[in-house]
Amino acid sequence: MSMLPPLRSADRPRRPVGLLTTGFAVLVAALTLQPASNTRAGSPRRTAVVDVVERVRGAVVNIHSERTVKGPATEELFALAPSQNRINGMGTGILIDPRGYIVTNQHVVDDVNVIRIRLADGSTYTGQVIARDQESDLALLKIDADHLLPTMPLGTVKDLMVGETVIAIGNAYGYEHTVTVGVVSALKRDVTLNKEISYKSLIQTDASINPGNSGGPLLNIDGQMIGVNVAIRAGAQGISFAIPVDTMIQVVSDMMSVRKRAGLTHGLIYHNKLSTAPATRDGQSDGLVRSLVVDRVEPNGPAAHAGFEPGDVIVRAADVRVAGSLDLERAFLGHPAGERIPVIVRRNKTEQRLELVLESAERESPGTADTIWQKLGVRLRPVGRDAVVHASAQLQGGLAIVEINPDGVAAKAGVQRGDILIGLHQWKTQTLDNVLFVLTHRDLPTFNPLAFYIIRNGQVHRGWMQQVE
């Protein structure tokens, strides 16, 4: 079990000059998806680039961040703490789910205190960091919009050609909605920033990428995202880099998995597959298409109970069309354990409808729930990071109080139904076994009164339980 960390963020040194990370970007209003001018269809002015920009602009957002940096202590006689300076940052994000999930670079939101997301229609929301991956320099954000949002079409780099046209959109140096065009200069570039920070297998392009573009999309001429803009070479012209979209899909699928977000499991082991699209009437193919293929199912798991078989191609889950692992995980996200989720699979060239029921990913020790009820007087249900991240970005999950004994130890300490238990003594509580670990600890008598940490009304509170035995 991990120690419950203090709910604060540490300052991080600025990156050295050399390979400069690029910032963030936005497109234009989601509500203005019609051509910006009355230029007739078929006009030579209405190029493929114009069409791409108009199609995807609603799926790109501006990210404005605020970071607090401690300065040197003041010389005032009664100064109690170092002075603090606020540093503003900006960058770009990409909408990948209609509920407001956004991908950007990790360095864009590293150690920030406030994140404001502005959509293409001009509306602004507070953003929360849901997950981050330092190695890939990717982060997943979430906003709570009051309507479904447009999402970015995803392509692949598997058929990307050196020399083909690419388009970047971003908030370059604060100039919003900046569109630049270039070509793919090279593929699979390894770029080292310093001993600790390096990137593998990047796309190199000569499209103008500037500070403010980080986290924004690099697109092909078909309007599909093929990369996430990440860095430029300082002192050079026309040398910029992007993380391949295939890498982004793999990393963000894991970030959005129901196991990590909600502590649930579907019992599917799968892989993303790329195949050549069927030929058109003129004998030409439209390139590669994605699909998600089941490799195997976990024995006695939800997928096994639903009737999944190795080789099944997952076509749709809930109301989401599935073309890859990212689609499947976001389709399951938000569905509670026990709910029947319709899934369409293609098996032997025919489609079949299955019903999958998500289950808790944790296999609690026998009698765990009863022991907790006897000792604390509460019944608990695991919740994912989405339920606790608003209170603290450091939390990965917790345990919702779904029932409480009014005569129990927890109730007497002020715990209420609806609270989310996130810690006991000095340990985090994300599973029932985490709680059992504390309640059966050999040093439990020395913990009395037992400190507990809960979230109530979006705030973290601490209290003490008396006479826990």
Count CB neighbours of 176 within 10 A.
18
397 vs 455: CA distance, rounded Å: 11
* Structural tokens at position 261: 């977000």
Complete DSSP assignment for 385-431: GGGTTTT-TT---EEEEEEE-TTSHHHHTT--TT-EEEEETTEE-SS
Q: Which residues face 191 on adjacent strands? A: 199
What's the farthest any 2 CA atoms get from each other in the chain? 83
Please tell me the total number of residues recorded for the chain in this structure: 469
Task: Tell me which residue has tokens 């296999």.
Answer: 363
Within 10 angstroms of residue 260's Cβ, the number of other Cβ atoms is 19
Q: Letter for the amino acid at 464?
A: W
Q: What is the DSSP letter of 247?
A: H
Smallest CA-to-CA distance from 273 within 287, 257, 289, 285 is with 289
Q: How far is CA 121 from CA 26, 27, 31, 33, in A?
A: 10, 9, 6, 10
- 70 and 8 in contact (C-beta within 8 Å)? no
What backbone torsions phi and psi does residue 374 show, to the nearest 5 degrees?
-65, -40
Question: In the 8-state DSSP scheme, what is residue 127?
Answer: -
Closest CA to 428 of 396, 402, 387, 404: 396
The catalytic residues are 107, 137, 214
Task: Write the DSSP string, 294-339.
Answer: EEEE-TTSHHHHHT--TTPEEEEETTEE-SSHHHHHHHHTTPPTT-
- Residue 152: which of 107, 98, 108, 91 has the closest Cα? 98
| Secondary structure of residue 266 in the 3-state scheme | coil
Collapsing DSSP to helix, strand or coil, 208 comes out as: coil
Q: Quick one: CA dihedral 264, 270, 276, 280, positive or negative?
A: negative
CA distances from 249 to 85, 253, 331, 420 (A): 36, 6, 14, 31
The dihedrals phi and psi of 350, each to the nearest 5 degrees, come to: -125, 150
